[in-house]
Amino acid sequence: MSSVFAPRKHSSPRNQLLAAMSASDFALLRPHLKPIAMAVFKDMEKPNRRIDAVYFMEAGIASVVASQPDDTKAEVGLIGREGMSGIAVVLGGDQSPNSTYIQIAGEGQRIAAKQLRKAMDASESLRSLLLKFVQAFM
């Protein structure tokens, strides 16, 4: 993933995905990004519930967990400072079948899902970069 998400020098965000954006794409997001502390077990996404915010991790680790009807759970992904939550939002949806929550406390940047959608609609290069991240994550 490092070649796809090579950091740029425009503002040095600690999240590698934000750092890989062009200055103009990052400028679309910057006014809407809010720093947030990420405590252990903080929910980022709940299964089959509307995703209202997307998080770009700067420190810490989040787990993406699938649950079966018999309550069996399996971790299906990890998110660190290389990525973001809200893959369903990038793909045009507003819900995930999985839970995403903090496993190792840290911090990140929060953006409302509607603001991320607006920025993606305004910039094909931003949409393309985020879709490349989704492909790498999957």
* Low pLDDT (below 70) residues in the chain: 1-12
The label of the residue with tokens 């609609």 reads: 121
- pLDDT, residue 8, reads 40
- pLDDT, residue 30, reads 97
Nearest CA to 109 out of 43, 33, 39 is that of 33
Task: Calculate the average pLDDT of the chain.
Answer: 92
- pLDDT, residue 13, reads 87
Inter-residue contact 96 to 45 (CB < 8 Å) = yes
Task: Please state the pTM of the whole predicted model.
Answer: 0.89
